[in-house]
């Protein structure tokens, strides 16, 4: 099918896409804002209903979390959305996005605005409410093609991606078995639309140090300062950086203590781990456990390590490489040069890759400064990115990728 004629309806969609992204961005859907996530889910369900597809809401199990007292608790999550059409078609494609953002209800960054520089500036406009808009418009276009009976699709939109997709990952992995290709709508790597290629794996760990409280003046020597002991552990953990290529350990958050006239009995630090190779995961975990075990021997202290590696590295090889090559060819048809580069970031594409589903995970909009109050989306990227995904769906329906 001629791409120019097929994609022509998208030419006039830019303004409608801008309006939709701004409306969605104005709904606070922080990962723990359950009312906001519910509102966003309702809005998305209505938006996707134009595709005349089947749908369901899928509740998620609460997320295990270590609170400020160092105790485990269950954090409630929003529900996943699932839309699907033609599950018996010979070609099946899984499209994934997320509705949650990193901006809490207390953040001053709550409203989207359109600037004179051709940008939308707002929370989640790029990561990834813009991506959800691109996905929807591409599907609308594909549903008008003569080839749509050859391809069935399934959309899953989760509410916990920014937390690591711990609760939604099992459904991704289960549904991946029924598809040949995965398409995900994280933002492009840069304003040129570069795709993410190889991705690092990741893990999250928490170190909990319990000492002994005491009066800082009258009984200082009787106390066991948990903050000081935790600091010693952190220095050892940080020293692991640089010991193995591609492995990074970020001490991202630490808390402890209270009144300064009390020897603190509790300190907690949270770690973000990134790995380049599969074998790096066991290496990091063994090193962390060794450091914690040694600290545990210190008189008067109890030291715990909680967490796991939850996302495996994604590498471009085999069918995944073939899929990227196909998208590059489709780019040429559209007059674009599609390139990719490695990323230290992780996303749900890692989860799909881990169960063998070839996928491209940065088909969303072009923009920048994500996860910050300076987040922006390039308006001029909206239609081209929707065209790219619509073109991918068409060529897949024509059997251009065997999977």
What's the rounded mean pLDDT across residues 323-342?
96
pTM score of the predicted model: 0.93
CA distance 274 to 184: 21
Do strands 195-199 and 266-275 pair parallel, antiparallel, or not at all (unpaired)? unpaired
Per-residue pLDDT reduced to its tens digit, 260-312: 999 999 999 999 999 999 999 999 999 999 999 999 999 999 999 999 998 99
Tokens representing 74?
């269950």
Q: Edge-to-edge strands of the sheet including 302-311?
A: 248-256, 266-275, 201-210, 302-311
pLDDT confidence bin for 129, thresholds 50/70/90: very high
Cα atoms in the Cβ-side hemisphere of radius 13 Å centred on 357? 27
The domains located in the chain, with CATH, are: 3-198+313-397 (3.40.630.10), 201-311 (3.30.70.360)
Per-residue pLDDT reduced to its tens digit, 69-97: 888 899 999 999 999 999 999 999 999 99
Give me the chain's average pLDDT, please. Answer: 96
To the nearest whole percent, how much of the chain has pLDDT over 70? 100
Q: Using N-to-C axis directions, what is the helix angle for 382-397 and 14-25, rounded to 10°?
A: 100
pLDDT of residue 90: 96
pLDDT of residue 380: 97
pLDDT of residue 68: 85
Contact in structure between 380 and 117 (CB atoms under 8 Å): no
Model confidence at 23: pLDDT above 70: yes
pLDDT confidence bin for 67, thresholds 50/70/90: confident
- 49 contact partners, CB below 8 Å, separation of at least 6: 55
User: Within the chain, how many helices (H) and strands (E) appear?
Assistant: 10, 20
Could you tell me the sign of the dihedral formed by the alpha carbons of 61, 64, 67, 70, in that order?
positive
SS3 of 202, please?
Answer: strand
CA distance 222 to 192: 61
Cα atoms in the Cβ-side hemisphere of radius 13 Å centred on 230? 25
Contact in structure between 311 and 201 (CB atoms under 8 Å): yes
Model confidence at 177: pLDDT above 70: yes
Query: Is the bond preceding residue 128 a cis peptide, omega within 30 degrees?
Result: yes
pLDDT of residue 403: 63
What's the rounded mean pLDDT across residues 36-49?
98
CA distance 223 to 211: 7
pLDDT of residue 97: 98
pLDDT confidence bin for 139, thresholds 50/70/90: very high
Model confidence at 100: pLDDT above 80: yes
CA distance 100 to 58: 15
Model confidence at 60: pLDDT above 90: yes
What's the rounded mean pLDDT across residues 366-372?
97
pLDDT of residue 234: 98
What's the rounded mean pLDDT across residues 382-387?
98
Per-residue pLDDT reduced to its tens digit, 27-42: 999 999 999 999 999 9
Please give the span between the terminal C-alpha atoms of the chain, in angstroms, as a whole number. 21
């Amino acid at each position: 099918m001629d791409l120019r004629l097929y994609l022509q309806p998208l030419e006039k969609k830019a303004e409608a896409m801008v309006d939709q992204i701004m409306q969605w961005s104005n709904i606070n859907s922080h990962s723990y804002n359950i009312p906001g996530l519910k509102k966003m889910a309702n809005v998305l369900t209505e938006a996707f209903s134009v595709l005349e597809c089947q749908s369901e809401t899928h509740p998620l199990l609460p997320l295990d979390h270590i609170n400020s007292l160092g105790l485990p608790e269950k954090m409630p999550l929003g529900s996943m959305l699932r839309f699907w059409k033609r599950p018996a078609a010979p070609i099946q494609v899984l499209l994934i996005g997320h509705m949650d953002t990193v901006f809490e209800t207390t953040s001053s960054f709550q409203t989207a605005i359109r600037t004179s520089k051709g940008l939308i500036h707002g929370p989640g406009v790029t990561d990834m409410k813009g991506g959800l808009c691109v996905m929807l418009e591409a599907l609308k276009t594909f549903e008008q093609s003569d080839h749509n009976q050859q391809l069935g699709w399934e959309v899953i939109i989760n509410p916990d991606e920014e937390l690591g997709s711990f609760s939604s990952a099992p459904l991704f992995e289960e549904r991946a078995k029924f598809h040949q290709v995965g398409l995900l709508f994280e933002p492009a790597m840069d304003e040129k639309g570069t795709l993410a290629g190889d991705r690092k794996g990741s893990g999250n760990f928490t170190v909990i140090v319990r000492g002994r409280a005491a009066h800082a003046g009258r009984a200082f020597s009787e106390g066991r300062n948990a903050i000081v002991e935790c600091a010693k552990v952190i220095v050892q953990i940080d020293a692991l950086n640089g010991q193995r290529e591609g492995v990074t350990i970020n001490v991202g958050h630490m808390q402890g203590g209270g009144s300064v006239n009390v020897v603190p009995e509790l300190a907690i630090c949270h770690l973000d781990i990134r790995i380049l190779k599969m074998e790096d995961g066991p290496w990091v975990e063994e090193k962390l456990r060794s450091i914690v075990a040694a600290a545990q021997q210190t008189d008067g202290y109890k030291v715990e390590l909680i967490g796991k590696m939850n996302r495996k590295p994604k590498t471009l090889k085999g069918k995944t490489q073939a899929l990227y090559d196909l998208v590059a060819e489709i780019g040429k048809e559209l007059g674009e040069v599609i390139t990719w580069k490695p990323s230290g970031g992780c996303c749900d594409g890692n989860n799909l890759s881990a169960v063998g589903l070839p996928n491209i995970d940065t088909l969303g909009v072009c923009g920048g400064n994500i996860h910050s109050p300076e987040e922006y989306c390039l308006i001029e990227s909206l239609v081209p990115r929707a065209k790219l995904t619509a073109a991918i769906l068409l060529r897949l329906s024509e059997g251009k990728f065997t999977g």
